[in-house]
Amino acid sequence: MSEERRLEVLRAIVEDYVLTREPVGSRVLTERHSLGVSPATIRNDMAALEDAGLIAQPHTSAGRIPTDKGYRLFVDRLSGVKPLSAPEKRAIETFLSEGVDLDDVIARAGRLLAQLTGQVAVVQYPSLSRSGLRHLELVPVGESRLLVVIITDTGRVEQRTLEVGSVPDEGTLVEVRARLNAAAAGKRLTDLASGLAAVTESFHPDDAPLVRAVGDLVAQTLAEESEERLVLAGTANLARAGMRFEHALRPVLEALEEQVVLLGLLTEMAAESGVSVRIGHETQLEGLVDTSVVTTGYGNDGDTVALVGSIGPTRMDYPGTIAAVRAVARYLSRALGT
């Protein structure tokens, strides 16, 4: 019973500290929360929580604040996540459904998540390595060039110009397009090169060089575009919340600018199922020791192709942030499926 009560005391301290940004004392806990025990018992519980490294006293005669370890226990013991209101859900769906292309949808998702949480939103572009081919188009450009358009099932569009010497007649192009698309259907982009190479053998020797050239160009394009891309939104929110960080704001901003390092963190978090939460020192990034990162995956047909997340101070509203990240990820997945 005492263990359960101490967890309730910890929960109350976390919620009050997130709300007020002030250290929480036993008297405040007694007045604000129906814990069913005396102030003396609460003080004993707080002492036990402090001994366990779950709360700390920032200075003499002050109340207590949660530590990274305390936030971690609080998040791990969350029994539920605060649901978004019906108007919030409708706003998300309407706003994202108005996106005209992938770039617009990604940008809208970032702005919306930053607005919902009051923190920094990070949206990862769908990875080509985890995408599939939706359509491959060949468009004549003049007498000796073809425009090769690669459209993925996650909405990414890559265009390359191919020198062919002499553009085939329309009938040949129609056949080449149809058979290449049939050969690539359902394949991940990383498997396309071998798939397109295999179908080359079935073409007439006069057409095989064209098919082989298209396959080589696709493989080359994938190699060039293998880098991951991130969109950050709401960075100004950190400046407005600058007093919420234990140390200076500059290290946080510098860490966010290092997108390669940030991508490394997201890659690690992508290996975890569901919603992933890294708190303070768990990020293993010096500039983010005063922040928490909440992420989850989004994708097509249940496959995760990228991450969406929120970055804010460790004393963030974890239930609210988790709910917002989940909701935006869900609607991003729907947008990819359209």
State residue 246's pLDDT score: 58
Confidence of residue 243 (pLDDT cuts 50, 70, 90): very low
Is the pTM here over 0.85, yes or no?
no
Domain co-membership, 319 together with 330: yes
Averaged pLDDT, 253-265: 86
State residue 309's pLDDT score: 96
Chain center to CA of 72: 20
Phi, psi of 330 (to 5 degrees): -60, -45
CA 183, 188, 189, 194 torsion-angle sign:
negative
Least confident piece of the model among 135-139, 213-217, 253-257: 213-217
Interval 3-58: pLDDT, tens: 888 899 999 999 999 988 889 988 888 888 888 888 888 889 999 999 999 999 88
Closest CA to 324 of 336, 308, 302, 301: 308
Closest CA to 233 of 328, 336, 94, 138: 328
State residue 316's pLDDT score: 92
Domain co-membership, 312 together with 220: no
CATH number of the CATH domain containing 72: 1.10.10.10
Length of the chain: 338
Domain co-membership, 31 together with 62: yes
4-8, 27-31, 199-203, 278-282: which has the highest mean pLDDT?
A: 278-282
Of 224, 243, 276, the position where a domain reaches its end is 224
Domain co-membership, 309 together with 239: yes
Domain co-membership, 254 together with 292: yes
CATH number of the CATH domain containing 320: 3.30.450.40
Tell me: pLDDT of 189 over 90: no
Between CA 84 and CA 62 the distance in angstroms is 35
Contact 159, 147 (CB under 8 A): yes
Averaged pLDDT, 209-222: 76
Between CA 217 and CA 210 the distance in angstroms is 11
Confidence of residue 241 (pLDDT cuts 50, 70, 90): low
Domain co-membership, 116 together with 256: yes
103: containing domain: 86-127+228-337
Sheet containing 157-163, strands listed edge to edge, beginning at the edge strand earlier in sequence: 133-141, 145-152, 157-163
User: Can you state the angle between helices 86-97 and 318-337, rounded to 10 degrees?
Assistant: 40
CATH number of the CATH domain containing 191: 3.30.390.60
Chain center to CA of 205: 47
Of 224, 258, 283, the position where a domain reaches its end is 224
Between CA 29 and CA 31 the distance in angstroms is 5
Tell me: pLDDT of 244 over 70: no
Domain co-membership, 33 together with 95: no
Domain co-membership, 173 together with 261: no
118, part of any domain: yes
State residue 229's pLDDT score: 82
Least confident piece of the model among 11-25, 70-84, 88-102, 230-244: 230-244
Between CA 215 and CA 194 the distance in angstroms is 8
Of 183, 199, 224, the position where a domain reaches its end is 224
User: Is residue 109 exposed (0-12), middle (13-18) or buried (19+ Cβ within 10 Å)?
Assistant: buried
Least confident piece of the model among 47-61, 120-134, 150-164, 196-210: 196-210
Q: Look at the block and give the residue holding tokens 């079935």.
A: 202
Averaged pLDDT, 253-260: 85
Least confident piece of the model among 65-74, 177-186, 244-253: 244-253
Confidence of residue 168 (pLDDT cuts 50, 70, 90): confident
Contact 293, 56 (CB under 8 A): no
Averaged pLDDT, 159-177: 84
Long-range contacts of 171-175 (CB under 8 A, 24+ apart): 172/207, 173/138, 173/140
Domain co-membership, 278 together with 314: yes
State residue 82's pLDDT score: 76
Between CA 282 and CA 291 the distance in angstroms is 10
Averaged pLDDT, 203-215: 78
Between CA 100 and CA 96 the distance in angstroms is 9
Residue with the larger pLDDT of the pair 54 and 174:
54
Based on the structure, what is the number of domains in the chain? 3
Residue with the larger pLDDT of the pair 115 and 60:
115
Domain co-membership, 283 together with 214: no
178, part of any domain: yes
Domain co-membership, 196 together with 262: no
DSSP letter (8 states) at residue 64: B
Amino acid at the residue 90: R
State residue 278's pLDDT score: 96
Interval 304-330: pLDDT, tens: 888 999 999 999 999 999 999 999 999
81, part of any domain: no
State residue 247's pLDDT score: 61
Domain co-membership, 254 together with 306: yes
* Mean of pLDDT over the chain: 83
32, part of any domain: yes
State residue 320's pLDDT score: 92
